[in-house]
Amino acid sequence: MKVELKKCRLADVKDHLLCVFLMQDEEPSWDIKQFLKDVKKERFTGKLLQTFYADSNGKAGYKHLLIVGLGKKEEFKLDFLRRAAGLSVRYAASLKHKELAIYLPGRFISRPELTRRAQAITEGAMLASYKFYKYKTEKEDLFEVEKIRIVSEDDVAEGIRLGMIYAGAQNYARELDELPANVATPARIAAEARKLGREHGLSVTVLDKRRMERMGMNALLAVAQGSEQEALLVKLEYNKGRNYPIYAIVGKGVTFDSGGISLKPALNMHEMKYDKTGAVNVLGVFKAVTELKLPIRLIGVMPLVENLPSGSAQKPGDIVTAYNGKTIEVLNTDAEGRLILADALSYAAEEKPEYIIDMATLTGAVAICLGKHAIGLLSNDDALAKTLIEAGNESHERVWRLPLWPEYSEMIKSDFADIKNISETGEAGTITAAAFLKEFVGEIKWAHLDIAAVDLVKPPHPYLDKGASGIGVRLVLETLSRLPKKK
C-alpha cells in the first residue's frame, strides 16, 4: 500500500471515497454537516469506531463519505487514530474501493502533534491492509486497498514518512513470522538477514555449528541437537565502526518449538512456528533503523534453532556450559528459549553496548499475568525501563514492568550446577525466566521483553489481522529513537 499527502482543504477533495474522523458530539464542518443534518442522533454520535456512510449525490467533490467516531474528547488516545484508520481501510476494501482519502484537520493542533497524528493514521492504515496471501492459490476474492491519501491543509509529510517506515518494518516482520517451519528454517532466516544486509548496507556475520562449538556456545547448541536443522547465530551491525552510542537488540529465534523431550501438548502446537518472533522482529527493527538513518550504532543478535525430540536431543537433567562459563542444569527442555538467549546475550555483552534489549516469546506465564494487552518488561536499569514504558504508550505496544528482586534469582540456583533453567516451585515463571537471563548480561544495562502473549493475534483487533502481529517492532524503534536524546 502507498500512503501520500494531498495538501488541500476539505471542500476541495475530489476522491471516490473520503473518510473523516469525528469526536463524540464534535460539531462537524459545514460541508460534512450537510450529510448529517437529517440523521437521527442515535445513528451517529461519534462513539469510538461508530460509522456513518453516505453518498454525496453530487453535492461534493467526493462520491462517498465515511465518518468514523473517535469517542469522547477527554478520553482520546493517539491509538484511536490507528484504529479508525484501520477500520476505514477494511471498510473501503469491503466496498472494493482501491483508493481512500482520510482527512486530517490541523486547526488548533501543534505541528509536532499533527506529525504524530499523521504517523498514527499511516500506521493503522498500513497495518490493517496487510494479509498473508503467499500460499493462497485462488486470489480472485482477495481485495486490497492500493493507495491512501491523507488530506490536510498542513504539511504532514514527515508523519506519513515515519508511519510508512514503522508499519512497513512491522509488516515485514509479520511476513517472515508467518512462514511455516518447513520453509523458515534457521538457514532461511539467516539468508533473509544476509539479503537485508545487502539491501541496506548492514554488516552480517553468521556463526555455524562448528564455529559455535569452538567458541563454547553449548547452551544454544544443546537445544538444536535433536534436530536435523543446523543451529546458526546471526549478528547484524548498523553503522559499524561509527562514533555513535552503541546499543544491542537480541531476538529469540526458535523456528519451531515442539518442546523437545519435554514435549508440548498437540493442541495448537502448529502455533509454535511463531517462536521465532523475537528474531524476525530484530530484522524488522534493522530494516527501519537504516531507513530512518538513526544516529546510533546498533548490533543485533539472532540465535536460530529448531527444538525437536530425537535420539540425539538434550534430556532433562543434562548440564551444559554456556558461552560465559556458567553451568546450567536443564530440568525442562521446553524452557529452551532462555538457553539460546544465554549464549546470545553473553555474545552481545562482549561488545560493551550501553544497553541491551531482548525480545522473546519466552513464557506462557506472561499471558496468565498480563493477558493479551501488554508485554512483560523486566530490567536491571530504571532509566531504560522508563524509556520503554514511554515508547510503549506512544506506539500502543504497551509494557508492564515486573520486579526482578534477588529472591527470584535464588529460585533458579541449582544443586548440581550454577543455575537451572526453571524454578521447581512453578511460581513466578516470567520473572524467574528473566532472572535466568540476567545471569548473562553482566554489568550491561539490559531490558527483557516477554512478547509471548502478544506475538499472535486472533480476531477481533482494530488494525491487525489474524496471525503474526509483529508487536515489539514499533516499540523498540520508538525506544531507540528516544535513547540518544536521553544522553
Task: Kindly name the residue from 116, 338, 420, 438 that is annotated as catalytic.
Answer: 338
Strands 375-379 and 399-401: parallel
Q: What is the DSSP annotation of 166-180?
A: HHHHHHHHHHHHHS-
The CATH number of domain 167-486, selected from 3.60.10.10, 3.40.630.10, 3.40.50.740, 3.40.50.920? 3.40.630.10
Contacts 24+ apart (CB under 8 A), 12-16: 12/61, 13/60, 13/61, 13/62, 13/101, 13/103, 13/151, 14/61, 14/62, 15/61, 15/62, 15/63, 15/99, 15/100, 15/101, 15/149, 16/62, 16/63, 16/64, 16/97, 16/99
Structure pTM? 0.97
Tens digit of each residue's pLDDT (9 = 90 or more) over 171-222: 999 999 999 999 999 999 999 999 999 999 999 999 999 999 999 999 999 9
Task: Kindly name the residue from 77, 194, 209, 264 that is annotated as catalytic.
Answer: 264
Tens digit of each residue's pLDDT (9 = 90 or more) over 23-69: 998 888 888 888 887 777 768 889 999 999 999 989 999 999 999 99
Which of the four pLDDT bands, split at 50, 70 and 90, describes residue 424?
A: very high
* Homologous superfamily, domain 2-152: Leucine Aminopeptidase, subunit E, domain 1 (3.40.220.10)
Q: State the angle between helix axes of 277-292 and 157-178 in degrees (0 to 180), rounded to the nearest 10.
A: 150
Lowest mean pLDDT among 31-35, 101-105, 306-310: 31-35
- What percent of the chain lies above the pLDDT cut of 90? 90
Which of the four pLDDT bands, split at 50, 70 and 90, describes residue 487?
A: low
Query: Could you tell me the end-to-end alpha-carbon distance of the chain, in angstroms, rounded to an integer?
Result: 37
Q: Cell digits for 287? A: 530494516
Q: State the angle between helix axes of 111-129 and 79-94 in degrees (0 to 180), rounded to the nearest 10.
A: 40
Q: What is the pLDDT of residue 486?
A: 66
264 is catalytic: yes
Tens digit of each residue's pLDDT (9 = 90 or more) over 389-423: 999 999 999 999 999 999 999 999 999 999 999 99
CA distance linking residue 441 with residue 349, whole number of Å: 6
Tens digit of each residue's pLDDT (9 = 90 or more) over 443-459: 999 999 999 999 999 88
User: Cα 175–178–90 angle (5° rounding)?
Assistant: 65
149 is catalytic: no
* Start-end of CATH 3.40.220.10 domains in the chain: 2-152
User: Cα 423–437–265 angle (5° rounding)?
Assistant: 55
Q: What are phi and psi of 459, to 5 degrees?
A: -50, 155
* Start-end of CATH 3.40.630.10 domains in the chain: 167-486
CA distance linking residue 186 with residue 275, whole number of Å: 12
Instruction: Residue count of the chain, please give it.
Output: 487
Tens digit of each residue's pLDDT (9 = 90 or more) over 107-131: 889 999 999 999 999 999 999 999 9
